[in-house]
Amino acid sequence: MFDFLCEIKAQRVVTDDYMLIQLQAGELADQARPGQFVHIRIPGLEQSCLRRPFSIFDAKAGVLSILYKAVGRGTEMMRSLQLGRQLQVIGPLGNGFPLEFDGIPLLVAGGYGVAPLHFLASRLQRSGVMLVGGRTSGDILAVTEFEALGWRVAIATEDGSAGDKGFVTVPLVRELARFKAAGQGVVMFACGPDGMLRAVAELAHKNKVKAWLSLDKHMVCGVGACLACVQKLRREDGSAWVGRVCKDGPIFEAASIIW
């Protein structure tokens, strides 16, 4: 884990409220694994909770890319930061997705949940299917990036402005049935709002498919010390324990989560 001052190399609007920021992060970027996150100190937030957690969208040649949505004070301030400004960044944090598994990868994202899954797709040996969901077409992100990596992409929007009308579970149910009919095994990887993750976990259980979920909890320290981000979990023997999403996660197997 590093605690670096990272210079902003680029910052651009992706769509609506979503931004992509690129930081010169040296070893921090080079050692990052898909599913890990960084904790960024946002200038101007010194009086409140100091840092904000963000998944890693991409990391190569010492440059860290973060795809974020402006939702509040911190992310609004981040949006207005100029090139050349230095940000204090701790990372890479958390456990990351497993990169070795049997089956075709089936990725499921809601909104900025595409971020860790894009990094994952860029590091996997084999491509698979990427399902992206959002409220409207403005929430559908990184489709061209996934296609450029050789992934087949399906979209769902709640207002029907792009792809299937409804939740991302609409194409997910279809894909699971298609793979089952073809006798092909799949492994799911998902990141998005809690409701979506819960639906993915239920479908994984119903279809006897393994699913790895990236949980999103409010964080304070980001390194396992404050217990702000606890999640009730189940061991293989059925006993319960309480894990810290920042340190023991953010990636957990769906079957281990007690919702």
Ligand X SMILES: Cc1cc2nc3c(=O)[nH]c(=O)nc-3n(C[C@H](O)[C@H](O)[C@H](O)COP(=O)(O)OP(=O)(O)OC[C@H]3O[C@@H](n4cnc5c(N)ncnc54)[C@H](O)[C@@H]3O)c2cc1C
Give the contacts of 148 (CB within 8 A, at least 6 positions apart).
Answer: none
| Among 224, 234, 253, 256, interactor with ligand FES by CB under 6 A | 224
Taking the complex as a whole, how short is the minimal distance between the CB of residue 255 and ligand X, in angstroms? 20
- The residue written with tokens 């100091």 in the block is 50
- The residue written with tokens 């911190």 in the block is 74
Collapsed DSSP state (helix, strand, coil) of residue 170: helix
Nearest-angstrom CA–CA distance, 227 and 241:
13
Query: Contact letters (x/-) for ligand X, 15-44, by CB under 6 A?
Result: ----------------------x-------
Residue 222 lies near ligand FES (rule: CB under 6 A): yes
- Residue 224: name the closest of 90, 113, 78 by CA: 90
Size of the site for ligand FES (CB under 6 A): 12
Nearest-angstrom CA–CA distance, 59 and 118:
10
Residue 112 lies near ligand X (rule: CB under 6 A): yes
Residue 228 lies near ligand FES (rule: CB under 6 A): yes
Partner interacting with residue 74 (select from ligand X, ligand FES, none; CB below 5-8 Å by kind): ligand X
Taking the complex as a whole, how short is the minimal distance between the CB of residue 42 and ligand X, in angstroms? 7
For β-strands 230-234 and 240-244, DSSP reports them as antiparallel
Collapsed DSSP state (helix, strand, coil) of residue 217: coil
Residue 91 lies near ligand FES (rule: CB under 6 A): no
CB–CB of 111/26 below 8 Å? no
Partner interacting with residue 227 (select from ligand FES, ligand X, none; CB below 5-8 Å by kind): ligand FES
| Among 13, 148, 227, 242, interactor with ligand FES by CB under 6 A | 227
Taking the complex as a whole, how short is the minimal distance between the CB of residue 250 and ligand FES, in angstroms? 10
Nearest-angstrom CA–CA distance, 90 and 243:
21
What residues make contact with ligand X under the rule CB under 6 A?
37, 52-55, 67-69, 71-75, 112, 115, 216-219, 250
